[in-house]
Amino acid sequence: MISYRQPGTVLTDHTFTVPLDHAKPGGEQIQVFAREVVAADKASDDLPWLVFFQGGPGFGSPRPAGREAWLDRALDDYRVLLLDQRGTASSSPVNRRTLGLAGLGSAQAQADYIALFRADSIVADAELIRQEVTGGKPWSILGQSFGGFCAVCYLSQAPGGLREAFITGGLPGLDVTADDVYRATYPKVARRNAEHYDRYPMDVPRAKDIARRLAAGDVRLPNGAPLTVETFQTFGQMLGASTGSHTLHYLLEEPFEGGDLSDYFLHEAGSRVSFSAGPLYALVHEACYGQGAPTNWAAQRVRAEFPEFDAALDSDAPLLFTGEMIYPWMFDNDPVLRPLAEAGEILAQREWPRLYDVERLRANEVPAAAAVYFEDMYVPVEFSVPTARTIRGLRPWVTNEYEHDGLRVSNG
């Protein structure tokens, strides 16, 4: 363990060894990293533990700089553990290089390996880590977005390990499919587009001009990947954040230079569409909705039911940006995903075990509370509210005061 200080905090880095496959505890092992954070003036106090489950899936925990955002409030009462979920950040990573180095030469072997990185495995990791950190005492958990999915899985899988559970923007539908999720979210994304263009009407022609240039062909991002109209449309993922519409507007403000797309625009675009920071996200995003039947590229299939998202560049209709959706063509375009395209296809056809035990949730005895964002573009309120009603004793707070990133922007 390594300890060090930041303004107002003491941090300690931990690395834990866990089974790759919890059904085979004596088999291959991987590393899971977690960063302990405690208020400097409470570093020697016997505080309860709060474990943070990051959104995603496929991204590491926040890298704090002192007491900031929700962490500032949490440190008043807890010793916080920022967990890099398996496969992310400083934990044993999953990407095109590590899968090759692990000797997983076939796409099937890669897919079987990646299938072990869903919420159920993350919860099993946390239970092993809890034994080491608390000596077996229950701890508290906070799950944001996908982290909330992990929290509900935790309540289903190992409630005896929990002292209490907090969830923000992450109450999943217990019986919904990936198809259900996208049928609910595409109309929400369309409304966000309309709100954005109402706020910034000058962006209507700007977005169309960019799309027309991309449709003409051969625009490359700094990493060599093609920037297509469909890729450009994925910028809409930022519309679900509190300041996302403004960020998108500024990105569209001066896209051209000397008659073509500027280097600045292409740089900013590349940073937003590349999966280099989290390839696991593309591989298991739809799987986090998987409940039995294969997801079979649900976002792509369901999109056909919403033809308004097809780029009609010769019409007066505004270009519609898409949202938090993964499409199979991304694996052809992005260099970090291209070597994993076949594995991605196998995962899309995989039948996934159920993540949530509805009967156990109905009998829940763990104190729990959840913030449900009424305008959430990513986690539909129409699925979250029934889940809140199902989990016995859970106290929901349904609000339109915040967007999906309310935990980050509300300062706890």
Q: What was the pLDDT predicted at 411?
A: 66
pLDDT digits (tens, 9 = 90+) for 301-340: 999 999 999 977 888 899 999 999 999 999 999 999 999 9
Catalytic site residue from 274, 285, 404, 405: 404
Average pLDDT over residues 18-37: 98
Which strands sit side by side in the sheet containing 2-6, from one edge to the other? 2-6, 9-19, 29-39, 79-83, 49-53, 139-144, 162-168, 368-373, 394-399
Please confirm, yes or no, whether 410 is among the known catalytic residues.
Answer: no
Structural tokens at position 312: 């009609």
Please confirm, yes or no, whether 22 is among the known catalytic residues.
Answer: no
Q: What was the pLDDT predicted at 249?
A: 98
Average pLDDT over residues 370-396: 98
**Nearest-5° Cα angle at 114, 113 to 119:** 120
Strands 162-168 vs 368-373: parallel, antiparallel or unpaired:
parallel
Gap between the Cα atoms of 18 and 392, Å rounded: 31
Catalytic site residue from 61, 140, 145, 156: 145
pLDDT of 292 above 90 = no
The DSSP element (H or E) to which 179 belongs, if any, is: helix 178-199
Average pLDDT over residues 50-61: 96
pLDDT digits (tens, 9 = 90+) for 240-267: 999 999 999 999 999 999 989 999 999 9
Q: What was the pLDDT predicted at 103?
A: 82
Identify the sign of the CA torsion 211, 215, 218, 220: positive
Please confirm, yes or no, whether 125 is among the known catalytic residues.
Answer: no
pLDDT digits (tens, 9 = 90+) for 126-174: 999 999 999 999 999 999 999 999 999 999 999 999 999 999 999 999 9
Q: What was the pLDDT predicted at 293?
A: 87
pLDDT digits (tens, 9 = 90+) for 329-381: 999 999 999 999 999 999 999 999 999 999 999 999 999 999 999 999 999 99
pTM: 0.96
Query: Which residues does 126 contact at the CB level (< 8 Å), separation at least 6?
Result: 51, 83, 141, 154, 161
pLDDT digits (tens, 9 = 90+) for 29-55: 999 999 999 999 999 999 999 999 999
Catalytic site residue from 180, 376, 384, 405: 376
Q: What was the pLDDT predicted at 313?
A: 85
Average pLDDT for the chain: 96
Closest CA to 155 of 387, 402, 397: 387
SS3 content of the chain, % helix, strand, coil (to 5): 40, 15, 40
Categorize the per-residue pLDDT at 412 as very low, low, confident or very high, splitting at 50, 70 and 90: low
pLDDT of 192 above 70 = yes
Q: What was the pLDDT predicted at 125?
A: 98
